[in-house]
Structure 1
Amino acid sequence: MIGIVGIALIFIMVFGGYIAAGGKLGIIMKSLPFEFMMIGGAAAGAFAISNDMAGIKHTLKDIGKVFKGPKWSPADYRDLLCLLFELIRLARSNPVGLEEHIEAPENSAIFTKYPKILTDREAVNLMCDTLRSASMNYDDPHQVEEVLEKRMETNLHHAMHSTHALQAVADGLPALGIVAAVLGVIKTMASIDQPPEILGKMIGGALVGTFLGVFLAYGLVGPFAAKVKTVIEEDSHFYQLIREVLVANLHNHATNICIEVGRQNTPGHYRPSFSELEEALKEVKSEAA
């Protein structure tokens, strides 16, 4: 919602200020389709050249993050801590019984309690792979932490591709606007014998290209890239929480301590209170009893 409000504010302030200052939209509206065809088309072509099909799909999909915001809510972080609590407790009390849950999480009675988390393939694989490694005596906490850190760095780098692609387009738009403006000047120079009022309109139309390139770069595409980056970084905290809890588990801390480590490492605006989490864990224990 805030993204839509921001876009509306940009258009209202820019064009409203222009009109309030005595500007006329006629010349802009007349030139806009042709200028947008040149600038937008060139930007789209450059975007296609610099990305493969997977990158293009990834970027177009991530544009939705501007309006949807982060994927995970405070309730999801609480549910994740409850899920990790159940898995760690089972791993310590019945390691053999844990295997059926981490080998087929989609059929697990534990994972299916948390359908939103179950739909995130990376989060589920991160938990299952780490717990599976621990069951194979691959239990050096520092080594596991390093492996998890590298894995998450790789995932974050891949997720950030869309922000780099959008920022590259934003960086190129002002120059493409100049290209469109130069073409407009060339057109104007070919009509140099026309009266000043006609030449003035033609020069104004050429300058629309410069305006459009800068406006799209700094008013829309650049902010889109920044917002997508912010959302991706926010969502990455969810996976970092998984790492913190599972590494604490490998240090053989008590289960409740492992979960508290995760809670303390959750960003403040997502972190459940101690009493809220305690109540949720009591419900988990009562269901398992």
Structure 2
Amino acid sequence: MIGIIGIVVIFAMVFGGYLMAGGKMGIILKSLPFELMMIGGAAVGAFLISNDMSGIKHTLKDVGKVFKGPKWKPDDYRDLLCLLFSLIRIARANPVEVEQHIEDPENSSVFNKYPKIVADKEVVNLICDTMRSASMNYDDPHQVEEVLEKRMEANLHHAMHGSHALQTMADGLPALGIVAAVLGVIKTMASIDQPPEVLGKMIGGALVGTFLGVFLAYGLVGPFASKVKSVTEEDAHFYQLIREVLVANLHNHAAAICIEVGRQNTPSHIRPGFSELEEALRSVKQDAA
């Protein structure tokens, strides 16, 4: 919602200020389809050249983050902590039983309490792979933490592709606007024998290209890239929480301490409250009993 409000504000302020200053929309509207075809079309073409099909799909999907915001909400962090708490308690009480859950999470009674988490394959794989490694005696906390850190860095690098692609497009739009403006000047020079009022409109139309390139770059595509980046970075905290809890578990801290370590390392605006989490964990214990 806030993304839509931002777009409305941009257009209202830019074109509202232009009209209030006495500007005429006629020349912009007349030139806009042709300038947009040249600038937008060239930008899309460059985007297709610089990305493979997977990257294109990834970027188009990421544009939705501008309006949807982060995937993981505060309630999801609470649910994740409850899931990890359940798995840790089972692993310590009965290592054989926990293998049934981590080997087949889709049919696990523990995982299926949290359908949104189960739907994210990377989250499930991260949890199951780490706990499976511990059951195979790969349980050195420092080594496991290093492996998880590298894995999450690789995932974050891949997740940032959409932001980088949009930023590259934003960087190129002003130059493409100049290209369109130069073509407009060439057209104007070919009509140099026309009266000044005709040439003035032609020059104005050419300058629309420069305006459009800069406006799209800094008013829309650039902010889109920044928003996608910030949302992607915030969602990465969900995976970092898994690392914090499972590494704490390898240090043989009490299950409640492991969960508190994860809660404390979650950013404040998405961190579950202590009392709220205690109540949720109490419900988990009751269900297990």
TM-score, normalised to structure 1, is 1.00
Cα distance between partner residues in 2 of 1:43 and 1:272 = 43
Q: Which residue of 1 aligns with 2:89?
A: 89
Mapped pair 1:22 → 2:22: yes
Q: Which residue of 1 aligns with 2:43?
A: 43
Q: Which residue of 2 aligns with 1:251?
A: 251
Once the two structures are TM-superposed, the CA of residue 274 in structure 1 deviates from its matched residue by: 1.1
Cα distance between partner residues in 2 of 1:200 and 1:67 = 40
* CA deviation map 1:74-102 (0-9, x unaligned): 11000000000000000000100011110
Once the two structures are TM-superposed, the CA of residue 273 in structure 1 deviates from its matched residue by: 1.3
Give the SS at the match of 2:270: coil
Q: How does 1:1-289 map onto structure 2 within 5 Å?
A: 1-289=1-289
Cα distance between partner residues in 2 of 1:219 and 1:233 = 22
Cα distance between partner residues in 1 of 2:87 and 2:140 = 19
Which stretches of structure 1, 4 residues or longer, exceed 4 Å deviation after superposition?
none
Q: Letter of the aligned partner of 2:165 in structure 1?
A: A
* CA deviation map 1:142-183 (0-9, x unaligned): 000000000000000000011110000000000000000000
Q: Letter of the aligned partner of 2:196 in structure 1?
A: P
Identity of aligned residues (%): 83
Once the two structures are TM-superposed, the CA of residue 261 in structure 1 deviates from its matched residue by: 0.3
Q: Letter of the aligned partner of 1:208 in structure 2?
A: V
Q: Letter of the aligned partner of 2:175 in structure 1?
A: A
Cα distance between partner residues in 2 of 1:41 and 1:272 = 46
Which ranges in structure 2 are unaligned for 5 or more consecutive residues?
none
Give the SS at the match of 2:204: helix
* CA deviation map 1:126-156 (0-9, x unaligned): 0000000000000000000000000000000
Cα distance between partner residues in 2 of 1:273 and 1:20 = 50
Cα distance between partner residues in 1 of 2:66 and 2:274 = 32
Once the two structures are TM-superposed, the CA of residue 268 in structure 1 deviates from its matched residue by: 0.2
Q: Aligned residues, how many?
A: 289
Cα distance between partner residues in 2 of 1:229 and 1:91 = 36
Once the two structures are TM-superposed, the CA of residue 272 in structure 1 deviates from its matched residue by: 1.1
Give the SS at the match of 1:23: coil
Give the SS at the match of 1:269: helix
Give the SS at the match of 2:268: coil
Give the SS at the match of 1:139: coil
Q: Letter of the aligned partner of 1:190 in structure 2?
A: A
* CA deviation map 1:168-220 (0-9, x unaligned): 00000000000000000000000000000000000000000000000000000
Cα distance between partner residues in 1 of 2:31 and 2:52 = 32
Once the two structures are TM-superposed, the CA of residue 15 in structure 1 deviates from its matched residue by: 0.3
Once the two structures are TM-superposed, the CA of residue 27 in structure 1 deviates from its matched residue by: 0.2
Cα distance between partner residues in 1 of 2:50 and 2:288 = 53
Q: Letter of the aligned partner of 1:254 in structure 2?
A: A
